[in-house]
Amino acid sequence: MTSWGGGSYRGVVKSHHLCRRGDSATSVQPSEEVAAATTMRGISVAARPSSSSSSNAVTMMIIALASVLSFCLVNILLVARLEKDGPHYRDDVTHDGGAGLGAPMTYRRRQVARKNDTTHDDVDDDEDPILAHFRRAGLDLDYASRERLPTWSDIESQYGTDVVVLGMETCKYFRNIVPPLDRMIGSAGMFNSGTNLVTRLMKENCVIPERYKKYGPKATKEQYGIRWQCPWGKHTPAQFRHDHLAPKNENQTADNCLPIVTIRNPFTWMSSMCRIPYSAMWERSDAGTNGKGVCPHLAYADGRPPTEGGTMAPVSLVYKFSGHAITYDSLAHLWNEWYAGYWRDANFPYLMVRLEDLVFRQYETTRIVCDCAGGTVPSKDDFRYIVHSAKTGPAHGKVSERTNMIDAWVKYGKPMAPKAGFSELDYEAAVEYLSRELMEKMGYKYPLPE
């Protein structure tokens, strides 16, 4: 017997308690036992004075007693087993979720607490917040998937205990100057920084109530104020927000859009840019490498370390707002200067959020962003998590290399390798070139040298 429905379980318990009661079949008088036994067997026995009848009655009484006692014993044993193993079987269920996100990733929650099986010990308390997150997202993880995930302590040790957001002081100003029916929210950020993820989260969960009331339940996300990008284009530097309009934004006003700027730890960001550079171009080979790629290749190996003025490897980036390219001193300088256009130089409302918070704290981050624009989000239980890769289309590389929710938690949650896997020269250059002020503001840590 491997599984029990709730009705069967309750039925056995009822019979078990019947056998234990003081007025149960095991404590009735002999004459009552005969009547009970004959009724159970569907036999009607008439009382006769003959010795044969008396002998038959005694035999029937013995058979009845044996049957009742056997029935009780079997039920007692079954209840004992159910009390021991039943919860594990009843907990072994498949859960489908992810409404509105297409076919959800579905896992079967295995029996993870079995006696004498040390590979399925109870889940550690440190992992509970993680499992709760995945269950709300509609994913019940098997043991192998759990083993891949970081612990919550791993995550907090790298990114802290709270969501990090810059620009919160501009929220009230945005709500005051932009009427609710004109408000828009759009993504902004460098390539490989999470712009697609924040857009998906907002489109699935954020609504500006006044716009919803005007356009009704069947309107588009754009009519609700949630746009794919702000009018100037999500990858366009902030200083050009009034000089360029992305396609299909000709009738939009830049000041009505609150840009949600996504940023990512520069060490993992540079590694992603090495794999998919988009329109960024820079030399990735060096003397002595026989043309072999070197990445992120922040400086040339010309004998001078970065701290002593070594030659940097410049990066050219072509933006769609013009036919010209902007050149940055290195990939690290591109990260510094692009984001400085918001956190350091912006004189307009914006929010800057970490990709890592969009991965590990989807609900909390989305709520903060939506609230800033005067929008509303559903409760945590009704929140629509993004469980598949938010990137679509051939421009984002191979489908097999895109990151779903589990892969993202593994990718960003595990501690970084020493030097982030960079060469000694690139590691020294990154530490030298990256903006320490921005690193500190965003709560990012440098990888250990060893």
| 3-class secondary structure, 318 | strand
The reply to whether 80 and 104 lie within a common domain is no
pTM of the model: 0.70
Q: From the CB of residue 21, how many other CB atoms can be counted at a distance below 10 Å?
A: 10
* Predicted local confidence at residue 52, as pLDDT: 55
The reply to whether 309 and 426 lie within a common domain is yes
The reply to whether 332 and 277 lie within a common domain is yes
The reply to whether 295 and 357 lie within a common domain is yes
The reply to whether 108 and 28 lie within a common domain is no
The reply to whether 245 and 115 lie within a common domain is no
pLDDT confidence band for 11 (50 / 70 / 90): very low
The reply to whether 351 and 382 lie within a common domain is yes
CA angle 178–373–251, rounded 5-degree value? 50
The reply to whether 107 and 76 lie within a common domain is no
Amino acid at 300: Y
- Is 156 a member of any domain? no
When mean pLDDT is compared across 85-94, 114-123, 210-219, the lowest value belongs to 85-94
- Is 446 a member of any domain? no
The reply to whether 203 and 330 lie within a common domain is yes
- Is 155 a member of any domain? no
Instruction: Show the domain range for 395.
Output: 165-441
Q: pLDDT, tens digit, for every residue of 124-150?
A: 545 578 988 899 999 888 899 899 999
- 97, 137 Cβ separation under 8 angstroms: yes
Q: pLDDT, tens digit, for every residue of 70-92?
A: 766 655 665 454 444 433 222 22
- Is 73 a member of any domain? yes
* Predicted local confidence at residue 244, as pLDDT: 80
The reply to whether 36 and 138 lie within a common domain is no
- Is 339 a member of any domain? yes
The reply to whether 247 and 206 lie within a common domain is yes
Number of domains in the chain: 3
Q: From the CB of residue 370, how many other CB atoms can be counted at a distance below 10 Å?
A: 22
The reply to whether 228 and 376 lie within a common domain is yes
